[in-house]
Amino acid sequence: MNHDPVKRLPGWATMSDVAHAAGVSLMTVSRVYKNPSAVSAATRERVLNEGDRLGFVPNMLAGNLASGRSAMIGIVVPSLRNSNNANSIQGMADRLRQASYQFMITNTGYSLDAEALAVEAFIRRRPDGLVLTGTRHSDETYALLRGSGLPVVEVWETEGPIIDMATGFRNREAGGEIARYLIAQGYDRIGYVDYPVPGLRRYEARRDGALDALRQAGLRADIVVSPLSTDVTEDTSSFRGGTSGLQQLLDAGGVRAVLCASDLLAVGVMFEAQRRGMRVPEDLAVAGFGDFEIAAEIPPGLTTIRTQGYQMGWAAADMLISRIEGLPIDTEIKNVDYALVKRGSA
């Protein structure tokens, strides 16, 4: 009697088991779990009881194979430790859960090659859609996505050519807005601390917007430092970047105000100012970008641009779901709002 193949997942009850136990066909069980309203209340009850009794949990791998849909999304982010990113991931997670999708996630460490590998690894699992960070990708990534025909949302940047859909905000505008605020406050020598990771459009845009504003106001737009621009890794401390950024600015002749590409850099600047006995904002005004949680807490409060990471993530998931389910989409490119938040630092 040893004709049965060895079971690799022993113990799992299957739909057949439940069907037998409940005295119905396979399809009825399937319907009970996928589309309960298509089954009479009585049979549904009976099937569910037997299912529970047998500890039946539907095997989605099998279902996905049969249906060609996986209810799974792949999300590619540069870093899992970036708290700014965490907000957008949470936004996606909440929207996806609401629609009964799950997600895989992977980080690339800001490497486009790693991104391509991640995308291929995801595609092997036949997700229903993909979320990528930024609008700059390797040729291989583009080829894979083209071949897959999958819905794709790019997040955080709406600059640059879009693959399919994108959510983000106007980085350039936002950079201009906070720079103009500093200018309006009467600060003259304004320095810019750029993001430590080079080549990201969103940071380039926000810097260029700021520098343009300075130029238009007739101010110097060349007091720019890129802390840690060598030897950058995913784990490069942004706080430390602010620290060395301020050092560099002071070495270069000093500034009256510092505009930073992210709040964490700004906090690093403020810490360094504190260490040097410089008062914020009296001796040095500081502005950040992102409105991270700490911005509201650090004395005297960090003036910054609030970006709506959570809403952006939610919108990204929402667009993806719409496309997957064939619903109409208003725009392929959705910009969420940002807002200047004035606090004590500038």
Partner DNA sequence: TTGTAGGCGTTATCAG
Partner DNA sequence: CTGATAACGCCTACAA
Binding residues for DNA (CB under 7 A): 5-9, 12, 14-16, 24-28, 30-31, 33-34, 38-40, 42-44, 56, 58-59, 62-63, 65-69
Residue position matching structure tokens 């060609």? 68
Instruction: Using the rule CB under 8 A, give the single segment among 1-9, 202-210, 282-290, 333-341 that binds a second copy.
Output: 1-9
107 interface partner picked from DNA, a second copy, none, CB below 5 to 8 A per type: a second copy
- Taking CB under 8 A as the binding criterion, the range among 86-94, 177-185, 194-202, 335-343 that sits at the site for a second copy is 86-94
In the complex, minimum distance from the CB of residue 276 to a second copy, in angstroms, rounded to a whole number: 10
Pairwise CA distance, residues 277 & 273, whole Å? 6
Spatial separation of the C-alpha atoms in residues 217 and 28, rounded to whole Å: 72
Site for a second copy in 104-123 (CB under 8 A): 104-107, 120-123
Instruction: Give the span between the Cα atoms of 72 and 10, in whole angstroms.
Output: 25
> CA-CA distance, 73 to 128, in Å (whole number)?
6
Q: Is 49 in the site for a second copy (CB under 8 A)?
A: no
Considering only 20, 189, 220, 240, the residue that binds a second copy (CB under 8 A) is: 240
Residue 91: count other Cβ atoms within 10 Å of its Cβ: 24
User: Is residue 248 close enough to count as binding a second copy by CB under 8 A?
Assistant: no
Q: Work out how close the CB of 105 gets to DNA at its nearest, in angstroms, rounded to a whole number.
A: 23
254's tokens: 């000093």
Nearest to 257 by CA among 341, 202, 181: 181
- Which of 14, 43, 59, 248: binder of a second copy (CB under 8 A)? 59
Residue indicated by tokens 């621009």: 229
Q: Which does 339 bind (CB under 5 to 8 A by kind): a second copy, DNA, none?
A: none
Q: Are 95 and 321 in contact (CB under 8 A)?
A: yes
Show the binding pattern over residues 289-328: x = contacts a second copy (CB under 8 A), - = does not: ----xx--xxx-----------------------xxxxxx
User: Cα separation of 138 and 167, whole Å?
Assistant: 20
Closer of 38 and 327 to a second copy (Cβ): 327
Cis bond before residue 5 (omega within 30° of 0): no
Q: Does residue 249 bind a second copy (CB under 8 A)?
A: no
| 188, 256 contact by CB (below 8 A) | yes
The two three-digit tokens of residue 160, written as one number? 């640059």
Which does residue 103 touch among DNA, a second copy, none (CB within 5 to 8 A, set by kind)? a second copy
The neighbour count for residue 161, using CB atoms within 10 Å, is 10
40 binds, among a second copy, DNA, none (CB under 5 to 8 A by kind): DNA
| 125-144: contacts with a second copy (CB under 8 A) | 125-126, 128, 144
CB of 161 to a second copy, least distance (A): 15
Quick check: 162 binds a second copy (CB under 8 A)?
A: no
Q: Tell me the C-alpha distance between 29 and 287, whole Å.
A: 60
**Separation between Cα atoms, residue 259 and residue 249, nearest integer Å:** 11
Of the pair 269, 324, the CB lying nearest DNA is at 324
Residue with smaller CB distance to a second copy, 180 or 334: 334
Place of tokens 């991270």: 292
